[in-house]
Amino acid sequence: MDLSKLNPEQLQAVEATEGAVLVLAGAGSGKTRVLTYRVAYLIDDKKVEPYSILAITFTNKATNEMKERLDSLLGENAGVWVSTFHSLCARILRYNAEKLGYDKNFTIYSDADKERVIKRIIANKHIEKNGFETKVAFHIGNAKTYMISPDEYRTECGDRDAMEICDVYEAYEEELRAANAMDYDDLLIKTYLLFSEFPDVLARYAERFRYIHIDEYQDTSRLQFKIAEMLASRHGNIFAVGDEDQSIYGWRGADIQNILDFQKDFPEARIIKLERNYRSTTNILNAANSVIANNRGRFDKKLWTDQAGGVRVESYTGEDDRDEADYVVRQIASLVRGQGYSPSAFAILVRINALTKKFEEKLRFYRLPYKVYGGFKFYERKEVKSLLAYFRAIVNPRDNDAFLRIINTPKRGIGDSVIEEIATLSAERGISISDVLFGEAEEFLSPRSAKKLAAFKSLFDKLLAQSRNMGLGDFAEYVAEEAGFFLAFAGDKEEDISRKENINQLIGEIKDFEKENSGASIEEYLQSVSLVSDTDEIQSEECVVLSTVHSVKGLEFDVVFVTGLEENVFPSQSYNKTTAEIEEERRVMYVAMTRAKKRLYLTCARSRFMYGSTQYNPKSRFLKEANVTRPATIPSSTSVGTSRPFAGGQQSAVEAPKRSRDEIVRSVNGAAADLSKLPSGSIDYKLGEKVVHPRYGVGRIIQITGDNASVAFDGLGIKQFNMKVAPFKKA
Which residues carry out catalysis? Answer: 31-32, 215-216, 246, 595
d(CA 178, CA 6): 52
Sign of CA dihedral 337, 339, 343, 348: negative
Tell me the β-bridge partners of 272: 23
Burial of 149 by CB count in 10 Å (0-12 exposed, 13-18 middle, 19+ buried)? middle
Are the beta carbons of 227 and 188 closer than 8 angstroms?
yes
Q: Give the three-state DSSP class for 57.
A: strand
Angstrom CA distances, 581 to 252, 265, 477, 490, stand at 13, 25, 47, 49
Beta bridge partners of 188: none
For Cα atoms 213, 218, 221, give the angle at the middle one, nearest 5 degrees.
Answer: 90
SS3 content of the chain, % helix, strand, coil (to 5): 50, 15, 35
Nearest to 124 by CA among 419, 438, 348, 452: 419
The strand pairing partners of 605, in sequence order, are 318
**DSSP state, residue 633:** P
**CA 659 to chain CA centroid, nearest Å:** 21
Instruction: Report the C-alpha gap between 235 and 217 in whole angstroms.
Output: 19
Length of the chain: 731
Spatial strand order of the sheet with 53-57 comes to 81-84, 53-57, 211-214, 238-242, 21-25, 270-274
Report the run of H or E that residue 122 belongs to, with start and end: helix 111-124
Tell me which DSSP letter residue 569 carries. B
| CA 208 – CA 367 distance, rounded (Å) | 55
Residue of 348, 346, 351, 341 whose CA lies nearest to 324: 348
**CB 586, CB 295: distance < 8 Å:** yes
Q: What is the DSSP letter of 221?
A: B
Looking at residue 275, its amino acid is E
Per-residue DSSP letter, 531 = T
Task: Give one DSSP letter per residue of 317-349, joined into a string.
Answer: EESSHHHHHHHHHHHHHHHHHHH---GGGEEEE
Closest CA to 684 of 718, 730, 727: 730
Burial class (CB within 10 angstroms; exposed 0-12, middle 13-18, buried 19+) of 5 = exposed
Residue 233 three-state SS: coil
Write out the DSSP string of 382-413: HHHHHHHHHHHHHH-TT-HHHHHHHTTSS--S
In this structure, are residues 43 and 259 in contact, taking their beta carbons and an 8 Å threshold? no
Q: How far apart are the first and last CA of the chain?
A: 77
Convert 661-729 into a string of H (helix), E (strand) and C (coil): HHHHHHHCCCCHHHCCCCCCCCCCCCCCCEEEECCCEEEEEEEEECCEEEEEECCCEEEEEECCCCCCE
590, 229, 203, 143 alpha-carbon torsion, rounded to 10°: -80
Helix (H, G, I), strand (E, B) or coil at 19: coil
Question: Could you give the CA distance from residue 5 to residue 138 in angstroms, rounded to a whole number?
Answer: 46
Distance (Å, whole) CA 689 – CA 240: 51
Output the CA–CA distances (angstroms, integers) from residue 343 to 312, 455, 541, in the order listed: 21, 50, 9
